[in-house]
Structure 1
């Protein structure tokens, strides 16, 4: 199971037809990213994830807020 989306992971899935890694292929995700002080070798810091889910997570840690893409409301009186 993917630790990020909770869906099954096909461990045999490797490449998409165009030769790039398949978006649902398995990857190892660091819970605390290496760029933020985590260890890629500590077993308690790694989990199974889909490639797509892992890329969406980026270097965020548990508890980090996700940025919203909403535009701010206009504050001017001229509209």
Structure 2
């Protein structure tokens, strides 16, 4: 959903608890490109403009968007 929402590339790593560690520590890391990504006519990946989540709050306000902090809270709630 993050890839579709922002037009970026995502990398996901899911970690199981470490040996001898807290067995409840399953967690994930999601890394996103800071730029929108597209395939060109030759099917090569091309990075474009900044992703919406990377825009300054000033720019987001001019585009009628909420703050990036509000958006991150929404993403975290969706993930949870």
Question: Which TM-score applies when normalising by structure 1?
Answer: 0.23
Report 1 or 2 for greater relative contact order, CA contacts < 8 Å, sequence distance ≥ 6. 1
Question: Greater share of helix residues, 1 or 2?
Answer: 2
Question: Greater share of strand residues, 1 or 2?
Answer: 2
Question: Which TM-score applies when normalising by structure 2?
Answer: 0.22
